[in-house]
Amino acid sequence: MSPKSTAAGKQPLSHVQLERAADVFSTLSELSRLQLLQELMPGPRTVSELVEATGMKQANVSKQLGILRSNRLVERERDGNFMHYSIADPMVVHLCEVVCESLRRQAVREAGKYV
Amino acid sequence: MSPKSTAAGKQPLSHVQLERAADVFSTLSELSRLQLLQELMPGPRTVSELVEATGMKQANVSKQLGILRSNRLVERERDGNFMHYSIADPMVVHLCEVVCESLRRQAVREAGKYV
DNA sequence: TGCGCAAATCGCCATATAGTGATATAGATA
DNA sequence: TATCTATATCACTATATGGCGATTTGCGCA
């Protein structure tokens, strides 16, 4: 028999897995990085396009992209002077979807309280 | 027609939604809190059980549970002197699953490089 | 070789927070 | 009331990091 598909039926994660998960969540924990990822969702963007789109300073955009990249959430490709950044791991999109679903459920529940 | 189910087809998240998502990810970004959540996955636990299971100091367990609770990821119920904590939002479990899937895919890809 | 532009890096400061020991609070029990 | 236990909170330190201006690096091109 296959294990039940509930939390109780799952194997606990190893310490190393938990550490890596914490790293991923930590990478996504900053609004500026989520903004950058959101701008990358429709497709690749250069650093200057991201600066323009987010209003962040160039130094900061580069820094946050570096953090996203060292955590393998984005990748880049050079084109002359330009660097094209893109989302490297579809996990990012899924994670945001899961969070948003929960937020929507919460909103519905909150609204229900006052009906 | 319904929108495509790709990142490009999704509405961007509002600033407020992004902020809330950052909060959730931030709450999950700490190893100690992930450890606590993992201990809660099979079912409710008291603070002292969590202290015992994780090896963390009692003050720190209470503190981190407080953070999890203020972000609505866990809830608690009093039973005499004891507080029983439990996971309040199944999102937590889903998020960990999504991250782990990605880690597994990465591991497979890494292994493939050296075959 | 030198110039100009895009991006990355450096040094710095300000802030946030994990973890700690000590203490306070709240419920049970006598 | 006094006291014991479980949990929460306080005050503090140490560390990590976001954001910034200044500078450097890497590439294309004259």
- Domain at B44, CATH number: 1.10.10.10
Provide the pLDDT for residue B115: 65
pLDDT for res B63: 98
Question: Is residue A65 in a domain?
Answer: yes
Kindly list the residues from chain B whose CB atom is less than 8 angstroms away from the CB atom of residue A21. 28, 34, 96, 99-100, 103
Q: Is residue B115 part of a domain?
A: no
Residue B6 phi, psi (nearest 5): -110, 170
The pLDDT assigned to B105 comes to 86
Q: How far lies B23's CA from each of A17, A31, B12, B111, in Å?
A: 22, 9, 18, 34
Evaluate whether residue A100 is within a structural domain.
no
Largest CA distance in chain A: 59
Tell whether A39 is covered by a domain. Answer: yes
Structure tokens at A104: 């929507």
Higher model confidence: residue A43 or residue A2? A43
Whether B48 sits with its Cβ under 7 A from any strand D atom: the answer reads yes
- Number of separate domains in chain B: 1
Which of the 70-89 residues on chain A come under 7 Å of nucleic strand D at their beta carbon?
A: 78, 80-81
8 Å CB contact between B65 and B50: yes
- The pLDDT assigned to B10 comes to 67
d(CA B105, CA B99) in angstroms, rounded, equals 10
- Looking at beta carbons, which residues of chain B come within 8 Å of A26? 25-26, 29-30
Q: Fill in the DSSP letter of residue B49.
A: H
Strand D contact nucleotides, protein CB < 7 Å:
5-10, 17-22, 26-28
User: Residue A45 burial by CB count (10 A; 0-12/13-18/19+): exposed, middle or buried?
Assistant: buried
Assess B104–A contact: CB distance below 8 Å, yes or no: no
The CA-CA-CA angle for residues A39, A44, A45, to 5°, reads 65
Which residues, given as ranges, of chain B have pLDDT below 50? 1-8
Window 4-63 of B: residues touching A by CB (8 A cutoff) are: 7-8, 10, 12-13, 17-22, 24-26, 28-31, 34-35, 38, 41-43
Residue B29 placed within a domain: yes
pLDDT band at A11 (very low <50, low <70, confident <90, very high): confident
Domain-located, residue A108: no
In-domain check, residue B112: no
Helix crossing, B91-113 with B31-40: angle to 10°?
120
What are the pLDDT digits (tens) for A61-107?
A: 999 999 999 999 999 999 999 999 999 999 999 999 999 889 888 77
In a domain, B43, yes or no: yes
Q: Which structural domain range is residue B58 located in?
A: 14-88
CB contact under 8 A, B17 and A101: no
